[in-house]
Homo-oligomer: A and B are copies of this chain.
Amino acid sequence: MRLSRAGEYAVRCMLYLSMAGKGVLVRRKTVAREMDIPEQFLGKIAQQLARAGLMEIVQGAKGGFRLMVFPEELTLLAVVEAVIGEIFLNDCVLRPESCHRSPDCKVHQVWTEARDRFRESLQKATFASLMDCR
């Protein structure tokens, strides 16, 4: 079980935009080259990040990407979930039928709590704090 490649690319992309600063336009080609991301694939990922309101895509000549939030407000959780969807939205571990008969299923509870803890950790991490990474 691991973070998907798309998730990694998204983080790299947002890290690069964070270093450039909120509102600063950066060409897609530059992000792709500098952060080692296939450019077309980055295009797809960018669409998801833009839909989530995290960045803006500017078309046309001199187009590119632009961070829409302050790195201080941008969390690892927001970026990752924008791309790979809600983390651990799992079908119940028990049989589906027996499960929706019991909303108080213990397995389900444990799983949910574990997920919440995980998300909390990622939510605490802002890109401002991640940028120091070198």
Contact = CB atoms under 8 A, between A and B. Distances in A.
A95 interface: yes
A134 B85 contact: no
Closest 5 CB pairs of A and B: A114-B121, A110-B125, A118-B118, A2-B90, A106-B133
Count this chain's copies in the assembly: 2
A34 to B, nearest CB: 10
A122 B111 CA distance: 7
Interface residues of A, number: 46
A3 B115 CA distance: 11
A36 B91 CA distance: 14
B105 A1 contact: no
- Tell me if A's interface is mostly helix, strand, loop or mixed: helix
A134 B97 CA distance: 11
A20 interface: no
A110 B121 CA distance: 7
Contacts of A36: 95
A15 B7 CA distance: 33
Interface in A82-96: 84-85, 87-91, 93-95
A39 B100 CA distance: 24
A89 to B, nearest CB: 6
